[in-house]
Structure 1
Amino acid sequence: MPSNSEFSFSVLVGGHAIPEYGRGGQVFVESNFFTPASYKDKEEVVVDGQTEVNEWPVTPYTIEITTKPLTPLARYTVSVDGFVVTKIYLTGGESRVVKGFRDKERGGLAEFVFSLPRYPKNKDDGGKQSPEDVGTIRVTSNDTWEEWLHRPRPVTRGRKGTAFVPATKKDSRMVTGGQYTMVTTRMGRNIPTTGRRTSSSSSSSSSSSSSSSLSNSMWVTGVRRGMLEVKCRMGDAVRAMGFQIRPYPIVLAANNISAGMVYSHS
């Protein structure tokens, strides 16, 4: 997993961290569309005035951030394909799983899913995302402290709709130069949540109760402490870099079924 002196993070499929491949200071993961957790997604799109029905396999994933025992309190910003998903506060020895995008239309969360890039809706659609963002999961940490003396600030209620726009094939060509198939992230199935407040993350450590109450305080974000990222690639791109694809176990937590070893078919 990408790691520095204060924290690390992993990409999980079916509750298990998937294999990583390192080269030139970068970390890559294979986006496998043929796992026990994968499913078919369908979408109707209007392309040049005509309706097309597209269906393709997708694989849901989550992001787990873990801080090292002596790490000071920091704010962690999670970004997917350049879009900021959530900002959470963690101190030393804590772990948090980020499950998906906030979904205002359906309520709850929308899964992160590995997917092929979407079709452009017209000739001007696409090419808007930075090449370093497409197919990238990024976690940035910043100093943070409580602002004890501050002037009252107006409080805005409610949330805007999710602004995430999946990358197009044109965006992916900016990264690949047409040499291999690109993988991006989309919003998948809805994950219902209970309670008054919808959260894009969930605690996986008993010690994280201290950080869960920080959202009710006034906090200041300071200088960046560190940044880690993972590049998501399909199997052919991973092989082209000279790596041998490694199998990995997936356990479907919802059904409590061990799927054994899963091999790449991409």
Structure 2
Amino acid sequence: YEIMNPIVTATNDAFNRLKPGFEAPVCIVTSLGGSKESPSRNRSVLVGVIRDINNPGAIRFELRSPNPYSNAYLVIAASYQAMLDGIRNVIAAELSCEDLEREISKKYGEDSVYLEKYREYRSEEDVFEKYTQEERNKLYGIAPATVWENLSGFSSCESKQQVLKAGDVFTDKLINSFKESTMQKWKNELTGRIVHDNIMLLKTFVKLHNEQDHSTDLDVVNWEKIIYLKTKLMKDSMSKKCIFTKIKTAIKDGDYDAASELQKQMNEKMTEIRALYIEYKNNIF
């Protein structure tokens, strides 16, 4: 899925729904259920099996990660390429249905015909409730958190690219064109819309308490935390640049690794300051 993911999730907005927890399909994991009578209710998986007990012929797989911004043509083509690669390997290895179930149910460190040795691929329990972040990273791989990290999957999984390229379905020209257009959109959105919108939002986070309205020490402490975060995010000094400025500089300089890391810092601190301002505001008469 590492070489499908850049095609499926290719925008900043697409990543907004891929947050750990909240039934987000972040991890490369599936669930098959216990039996026909007890189908899986696990909504934390990437690929689910959809069953109709009254119509066995209607059983299908559901890839849960696409979003309204996904290019349906490319996603379907990439999905078919991945499935065909698996089917060819199953035929070549002459695996039975029982073999396939053992394959998808393999444990971390177990040898496999097709799947990676140091990964797991099946869980009948909610992976966000059962495992810690570190355990999920170990078992299912580290999920990309930005468009740049996702696009880097094309480069870091060079051998897996051959799955997409089989039969000349995906060519180097097509892949490079997709990467270039996706990169351009990521850069423009990050510097032109996301940073700007965050600045506008932070400017609405104003001081609400004063000595005459029965303010407490909690109000003072919360406001100081808010000021600290606002400064880290959006206020430059002669000697130090804020995160927003660093993002713009990194994009301008072509340092996309730095821009991606700064975007994650920005998202984390924006989440923190939103929650903090709500707490601060709710404590004011």
Q: TM-score range by the shorter chain?
A: under 0.3
Larger-Rg structure: 2
* More helix as a share of residues: 2
TM-score, normalisation: structure 2: 0.22
Higher relative contact order (CA 8 A, sep 6+): 1
* More strand as a share of residues: 1
TM-score, normalisation: structure 1: 0.23
